[in-house]
C-alpha cells in the first residue's frame, strides 16, 4: 500500500491505496506523525505526490465541496462480504444524506442486524469515501464513530454537509 498525508481544512487526513483502489482513509484526530506510524504498521509506503485527483477531491470536500466519492475504485480485499454489501449500499448516499443503522439492517433483510451494521461501520477502513459518518441511530443520536476524532469528527463532517438527522436534530449519544 502506498500512502499520502493531507493537510485539510478539517485537520490532518491520510489516504492509502493499492493498484486495485483506495484501501485506507484516516480522518482528523491524530497528529501527522501518528497517522504515518499507523500507515507504516499497515505496510504503507510514503508517496507524497500519489493519487493527486483523490487528494484534491478530499481537500475540496474539507472546504465544503459536494462530493460523495462514489466513482472511486476501492480495494476491500480482506473485508468480510457482509461489510462489503453494507459499504456498497451506503456509498449510494448523496452528500448530506443520512440513514440509520436500522434502515440498513432492514435493507439487508432483518432489523436484528442493526448491531452487525454498527460493527461494519466501526471496522470501515475507508471512512469518508465509504461514508459511515452518514449512518445514525433512529432517534437522532450520532452513535459511535471509530475515527481518532470520535463523534466530534462525525458531527463536523455532518455539519459541513449540512446533513439532517432522521428526527430533524442531532443529539450526542454518550
Tens digit of pLDDT for each residue in 101-115?
Answer: 999 999 999 888 888
Is there a domain that residue 173 lies in?
no
Is there a domain that residue 126 lies in?
yes
Q: Based on the fold, state whether residues 54 and 113 are members of the same structural domain.
A: no
Angle, CA 23 vertex, CA 116 and CA 142 arms, to 5°: 40
> Which domain, by its residues, includes 95?
81-160
Which CATH number covers residue 119? 1.10.10.10
Q: Based on the fold, state whether residues 42 and 94 are members of the same structural domain.
A: no
Q: Based on the fold, state whether residues 97 and 57 are members of the same structural domain.
A: no
Of 11, 33, 61, the position where a domain reaches its end is 61
**Model pTM?**
0.88
Tens digit of pLDDT for each residue in 141-173?
Answer: 777 777 777 778 888 898 889 886 655 555 444
Within 10 Å of residue 139's Cβ, how many Cβ atoms?
A: 11
Report the half-sphere exposure of 100 (CA within 13 A, side-chain side): 14
> Would residue 3 show up in a list of annotated catalytic residues for this protein?
no
Tens digit of pLDDT for each residue in 79-97?
Answer: 999 999 999 999 999 998 9
Annotated catalytic residue, options 6, 13, 132, 160:
132
Amino acid at each position: 500500500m502506498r500512502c499520502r498525508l493531507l493537510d485539510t481544512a478539517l485537520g490532518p487526513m491520510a489516504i492509502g491505496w493499492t493498484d486495485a483502489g483506495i484501501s485506507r482513509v484516516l480522518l482528523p484526530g491524530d497528529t501527522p506523525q501518528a497517522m504515518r506510524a499507523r500507515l507504516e504498521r499497515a505496510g504503507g509506503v510514503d508517496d507524497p505526490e500519489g493519487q493527486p485527483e483523490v487528494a484534491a477531491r478530499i481537500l475540496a470536500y474539507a472546504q465544503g465541496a459536494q462530493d460523495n466519492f462514489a466513482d472511486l475504485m476501492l480495494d476491500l480485499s480482506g473485508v468480510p462480504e457482509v461489510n462489503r454489501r453494507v459499504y456498497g449500499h451506503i456509498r449510494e448516499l448523496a452528500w448530506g444524506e443520512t440513514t440509520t443503522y436500522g434502515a440498513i439492517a432492514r435493507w439487508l433483510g432483518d432489523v436484528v442486524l442493526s448491531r452487525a451494521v454498527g460493527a461494519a461501520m466501526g471496522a470501515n477502513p475507508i471512512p469518508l469515501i465509504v461514508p459511515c459518518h452518514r449512518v445514525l441511530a433512529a432517534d437522532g443520536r450520532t452513535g459511535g464513530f471509530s475515527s481518532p476524532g470520535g463523534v466530534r469528527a462525525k458531527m463536523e463532517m455532518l455539519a459541513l454537509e449540512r446533513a439532517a438527522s432522521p428526527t430533524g436534530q442531532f443529539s450526542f449519544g454518550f
